[in-house]
Structure 1
Amino acid sequence: MAKLVQALFCTLVVLLLSSFTTAKTVTYDFNVSWVNANPDGLAERKVIGINGQWPLPVIEVDKGDRLVVNMFNGLGDKNTSIHFHGMFQTNTSNMDGPSMVTQCPIPPGYSFTYNFTVNQNGTYWYHCHTDFCYPDGYRQALIVHDNDAYFNDDYDEEFTITTSDWYHEFVEDIRFLSLYNPTGAEPVPKSFLFNDTQNSSLPVKPDTTYLIRLINIGAFVSQFFYIEDHTFKIVEIDGVYTEPTEAETLYIAVAQRYSILLTTKNSTDRNYPIVTVADSDLLDVISPDLQLNNTNWLQYNAEAAHPQAVMKVEASADLVPFDDITLVPHDHMELLPEPDFEINVTVIMDNLRNGFGYAFLNDITFTMPKVPTLYTVMSSGGLATNEAIYGEYTHPMVLKHNDVVQLVLNNADSGSHPFHLHGHNFQVIDRAPPYGEHFYDYLAGDPVPFDPANHSAFPTFPARRDTFVLPPQGYYVIRFVADNPGVWMFHCHIDWHLSQGLAMVLIEAPLEIQKTHHIPQQHYDVCRAAGVPFEGNAAADTQSLFDLSGQNTQEPPLPGGFTARGIVALVFSCISAFLGMAFITVYGLSEPKVVQKDIDPVNDDGDEDVLHENVTAAGGGGGGGGGAPAAGVEPKVVAG
């Protein structure tokens, strides 16, 4: 009997130890530096690499693991950071990554350690969140494997596909926020990539089911996705498992993710185009050499033909993708109750007095504070619950712990905007126009804001995700529970629009943040190295937290009466006037010319008079090519 008890005790100990040791620490050491790459074969350029390589490494962890990323900034000329897109960062919003929101920018030559537990599952990605630098190549997939996923027994193998837009110029060299671009037209990419390359093949076996993870890691352009002569089942969006749902075509906005189950055909006689189509409605100008439709291949047979997809560019407007708002979460989480707090904002694109095009939520274009907002929370004591200390131009909203929050996002702009919420996924409970109408067919009339007294019934089990597309001149309504204390950005994930200020900051349960968050000394040391204060209000005032007189402010508005057309005319008139004055100045400062005209009398032989124009310059110089003739050169002869 004693031996039996001892055996049972040992078995129990082993089981307990195994349960505690399932989770592990996964460590990545990243030396971030410049490397060269030419992913589209059109232009080699410097990109941001990791450990001397590009494409960047895929981060892979299991649900429950602790992820540690030791990052060294070896760029030499650029600050940086890492945002782990879609990670909830429970009690660790100081590891979230957006500079001047939850941390200071990491200057060249300094290290920063990100350390947090991953208690979620699904498909994510990581990217730079400082000075809008991820279009320079600093972005890649982050995969969280889940041994308990409900569809684990339904597939045999898996792979990840990233899509992205690609620029040949550095972000800092593109004139976007500029007098030369008063309308705010987004820079058009030079090409579109598939797993950071083009014309690639994904080898598959016949009669096999694959889990395919799809991530748009681009900076601007949404893309349609389909595989010729194949359907698939959607099983995840943005880390949220869904009921398996049959689909043929997806619309993947920047920052969105899908996981699909695809079963291959029981044949190897041909290969099938994997088609990605850039949403041309987002582009102001399309050059003839920009390839919007790209073909890669689901390769059953390496020896068989690899046909190009049969499709015209104009057909992109006719593609009808699956409507993501109709997806039902696998956990059947019900519609949240009526909100305790509502945020109602409208997207507006407009110019300010410097002539640049900015983006606004209501009348505020996001402007960085002098102190990272999280550090204001940590240094403000009981005043942390007062929105005023975070500055007017960060557009702060303080949320109470565990409140149900409803966010109504109206669009007064004629473009679509994929908005991302850090620290949460959210229920999508309403949107207009309906997906059955092409978004851009909605532009014939005026913008249609959400009317709480007149809307369709909200779904019983709303779709959940962390990035959702706001339709042109339409709206969407989302709900979430403020159960994750931290400082979280809500922003458009088109990187150009973020640089224009299309963002706001949610400070969630600030007194709880002070209890649960610990900021490592290394992070404060990085602030000192970057010359960024880390105490006080948004103006870095530590004595009077309500004195915001030194805060960073947005540009003042244009004088009344200016229209968009008038702004453009004014800007280009100013540019023309400036150039004209410059030419006059240069001409006025050039050396004065003396023209001597000698008229010869008529010769006896009856030839006509000739005009000898001897051009000399006072002081002997010859500005503009008009100096005295060189020795041995005849003066210019003009018929007279």
Structure 2
Amino acid sequence: MAFLRHSVCTLLFWSLAVSYLVVASPQCATHNETFVPDAVLRVTESNISQSCYPSKATVLVNGTSPGPELRIKEGITYWIRAYNDMQDKNLTMHWHGLTQAMAPFADGTPQASQWPIPPLYFFDYEIHVPIGMAGTYFYHSHVGFQAVSGTGPLIVEEHGASPYHYDEDKIVFLQDVFVKDESTIEAGLVASPLSWSGESAMVLVNGKGGGSANGTACNASLSTIEVEPGKTYRLRFIGGTALTFASLAFEDHDLEIIEADGHYTQPYNTSYLQIGTGQRFSALLRTRPNPEKSTYYLQVESRERPTLTRGFAVLNYGLKPTIPFLPPNDLPLTLPNTTRGFLDYELHPLSPPKDFPTAEEVTRRITMTVHQRVLGPTIWVQNDYPWTETFPQEPYLVSLYNNNSLEFPSMERALANDGIDPISRAFPAQIGEVLEIVIQNTGADKGGLDVHPFHAHGAHYWDLGSGNRTYDQASNEVKIQEHGHPIQRDTTMLYRYATTTTNGTNMGWRAWRIRVTEPGVWMIHCHILQHMIMGMQTIWVFGNETEVLGKVGVPEVQGYLTYGGSVYGNENRWPSVVHFTDNEGSDAWTDNQ
């Protein structure tokens, strides 16, 4: 990769060093014609049909949905250029599961850290994955409902050899299809009264899907997963759905889980998977030495929704078909109902953890209470406050730099209000704290309950498990001691233990533990796109004002602080950006670049 650096601006404000990377002084650079990004993603909107459903406006990445598979290696810095080729919509690209602490404006979150990319502009994202975080991730837009289709797989390969042997790895990427287009869905979710998106009309596997939705058959063509007898395949399951909490299994084949959300686990055998939106698993599938037939089905079903959506794919031992495979006439499998707490206490780190924070180290417990409120528009609130694309009026990190509409969150106010500063609506934390974050499910204004896959940006947390009613730290600690060390995750399920209850009743919790080490502005949110748009997302500020804003001075990052600023390129100008990390590489690729 070649770089031309103009008026290098050595930044004296940041000398952060961490175990996986020693950061040199960040430098300004102009990404002109001599700069070659490691990968290019071009985002467009086109009218296409998916599965059995009529053509509608759909956000695509490099012309497809899902977009191209992107592979990078841990320990190397990459630059990925995202073009917004849409005429009238903003865009960001979020690298789901990756910590972006080294590049604070590159997390791709318009509410938290980055102005969105204007129409017909592009933005160069700086990505560095620390050693030890190889695994399965994905990318998606973080604007509106675009992630339902503007998304694709992101694989981080090991610096050395994988701890598990397999002959080949393959992607199993799950997505939803809705009858309405994305703009109509988004407008309905913020309307008063609410106009619901409708349920998923089909669950796609690698962009294709047929089966049934609410009893209506869909005989669309199916994706094939090509295998050979007597081999071991690493299947990388990616929950890229918008709404669907999926249960899935292969006909006459079991799985051995080896990775969850970018962390290797001790092997765990299972006949099925549950996977919520945002979650990822790797599992080994050992093919039959002498298969009894050439094709076996993968069956996928929605859970915890008022209607059942069922889709299929084909595990193909034979020749590649000349005509498409279609859904089976008879169900090959009976999948289990929801298993609450699925894998919560069964998955353990492959290697003994060195930095798991004990209960004695916890400095503060924050309970984040989620609730559906119906007062005019239907919204989701956390500790009584929503966070939407209209609040605040600019990205929170940008607002802090500009000293604009929102002040830096007050720890004093937060401590007096269950962890949240009611003025900024942010949750502050100090560097060095060990937080126990409890996410509490409650009955809605009208009594309903839902499930929520909660995702954290910025850092992975130690997942302490889940349960009914209200969190009891002492009893859960006994459970952890009995089962063994939990694993680190970035997306885990908050379950419901009934479909309805009385307004405000506690019914279901999820607990995390995290060491606060990296200053920054990060989101924690439900990854169901409908719920996010309706306010089910929060902002967390790690570090004090000097630690967060002292990373880089205002003059050097001025181009990040305005919509369409100088860090955004277009056909008439090259972007001028800040390089935050060393170890730049040029071996990222997409499968159709």
TM-score range, shorter chain: 0.7 to 0.9
Partner of 1:72: 83
Does structure 2 conserve the Cα–Cα contact (< 8 Å) formed by 1:348 and 1:360? yes
Q: Distance in 2 between matches of 1:321 and 1:398?
A: 29
Q: Which amino acid aligns with 2:382?
A: L
Q: 1:421 is matched with which residue?
A: 456
Distance 2:163 2:288 in 1: 20
Does the residue aligned with 1:513 lie in a helix, a strand or coil?
A: helix
**Aligned pair 1:392/2:392, yes or no?**
no
Matched ranges for 1:142-291 at <5 A: 142-152=154-164, 154-174=165-185, 175-181=188-194, 187-198=198-209, 199-282=222-305, 284-285=306-307
- Which residue of the partner structure matches residue 140 of structure 2? 127
| Alpha-carbon distance between aligned partners in 1 of 2:115 and 2:181, rounded to the nearest angstrom | 23
1:487 to 521, 524, 527: 521
State the Cα distance separating 1:394 from its structure 2 match.
5.4
| CA deviation string 1:538-559 (max 9, x = no partner) | xxxxxxxxxxxxxxxxxxxxxx
CA distance in 2, matches of 1:258, 1:130: 25
| Secondary structure of the corresponding residue to residue 273 of structure 1 | strand
Displacement after TM superposition at 1:320 (Å): 8.9
Match of residue 336, structure 1, among 357, 373, 379: 357
Q: Percent same amino acid among aligned pairs? A: 25
For residues 285 and 247 of structure 1, what CA distance do their matches in structure 2 show? 26
Amino acid at match of 2:536: L
With structure 2 as the length reference, what TM-score do the two structures score? Answer: 0.75
Answer yes or no: is the 8 Å Cα contact 1:229–1:272 preserved in 2.
no
CA distance in 1, matches of 2:338, 2:440: 26
The structural deviation recorded for 1:275 is 2.6
Matched, 1:411 2:450: no
CA gap of 1:285–1:210, structure 2 versus 1, over 3 A, is closer
Residue type at the aligned position of 2:494: L
Amino acid across the alignment from 2:318: N
Residues 521-600 of structure 1 aligned to structure 2 (within 5 Å): 521-527=558-564
The verdict on how the C-alpha distance between 1:391 and 1:131 changes in structure 2, with shifts beyond 3 A counting, is: farther
Q: CA deviation at 1:356?
A: 1.4
Partner of 1:504: 538
**Letter matched to residue 474 of structure 1:** G
State the alpha-carbon separation in 2 of the partners of residues 481 and 362 from structure 1. 22
User: Shift of residue 123 of structure 1?
Assistant: 0.5
Q: C-alpha offsets along residues 196-242 of structure 1, whole Å, 9 cap, x if unaligned? A: 11212211111111111000101111111211111121110000110
How much has 1:476 moved relative to structure 2?
1.3
- Following superposition, the deviation at residue 246 of structure 1 comes to 1.1
- Residue aligning to 1:541: none
SS at match of 1:350: strand
Q: In the TM superposition, what is the alpha-carbon distance from 1:264 to its structure 2 partner?
A: 0.7
SS at match of 2:38: strand
Structure 1 residue 269, shift from structure 2 partner: 4.1
1:514 corresponding residue in structure 2: 549
Give the match for residue 465 of structure 1.
Answer: 489
Bigger Rg, structure 1 or 2: 1
Q: Deviations over 1:69-108 (max 9, x none)?
A: 2222221111111111011113212110110310112221
- Letter of the 1:125 counterpart: F
Indicate the SS of the match to 2:105.
helix
Unmatched segments (≥5 aa) in structure 1:
1-19, 287-291, 434-447, 531-640
* Contact 1:112 1:522 survives alignment (8 Å): no
Does 1:108 pair with 2:119?
A: yes
Structure with the higher helix share, 1 or 2:
1
Answer whether contact 1:251 1:321 (CA < 8 A) is retained. no
- Answering whether residue 381 of structure 2 is matched by residue 360 of structure 1, we say yes
Mapped partners of 1:318, 1:100: distance in 2: 33
Aligned to 1:138: 150
In structure 1, what is the equivalent of residue 417 of structure 2? none
Report the TM-score when normalising by structure 1: 0.69
Tell whether the 8 Å contact from 1:35 to 1:54 is kept in structure 2 after alignment. Answer: no
Would you say the 8 A contact 1:209–1:262 is kept in 2? yes
Do the aligned partners of residues 320 and 377 (structure 1) sit closer, same or farther apart at CA in structure 2, a change above 3 Å counting? closer
Partner of 2:238: helix, strand, or coil?
strand
CA contact (8 A) 2:409 2:427 kept: no
- Deviation, structure 1 residue 485: 1.5
Q: Which amino acid aligns with 2:274?
A: Y
DSSP 3-state at the match of 1:134: helix
1:36 Cα deviation from its structure 2 partner: 3.2
8 Å CA contact 2:246, 2:300 repeated in 1: yes
Match of 1:326, SS state, is coil
* Corresponding residue pairs, total: 482
**Root-mean-square deviation (Å):** 3.1
- 1:88 & 1:190 partners in 2: Cα distance? 33
1:582 corresponds to: none
* Distance of 2:129 and 2:332 partners within structure 1: 43
Contact kept in structure 1, 2:247 and 2:303, CA below 8 Å: no
CA distance in 2, matches of 1:105, 1:86: 19
Once residues 312 and 301 of structure 1 are traced to their aligned partners in structure 2, the CA distance between those partners, rounded to angstroms, is 19
CA distance in 2, matches of 1:265, 1:38: 36
Distance change in 2, residues 1:506/1:336 (3 Å): same
Where relative contact order (Cα < 8 A, 6+ residues apart) is larger, the structure is 2
1:523 is matched by which residue type in structure 2?
Y
Write the distance in 2 (CA, Å) between the matches of 1:246 and 1:451: 29
Contact 2:253 2:271 in 1 (8 A): yes
> Conserved in 2, the CA contact under 8 Å of 1:280 and 1:316?
no
Deviation at 1:68, TM superposition (A): 1.1
The answer as to 2:393 corresponding to 1:370 is yes
Residues 1:27 and 2:38 aligned together? yes
| Structure 2 counterpart of 1:327 | 347
Gaps of 5+ in 2: 1-21, 23-35, 210-221, 415-419, 444-448, 497-506, 568-593
Q: Which amino acid aligns with 2:343?
A: D
Contact 1:271 1:297 (8 Å CA) reproduced? no
Conserved? CA contact 2:171–2:235, under 8 Å: yes
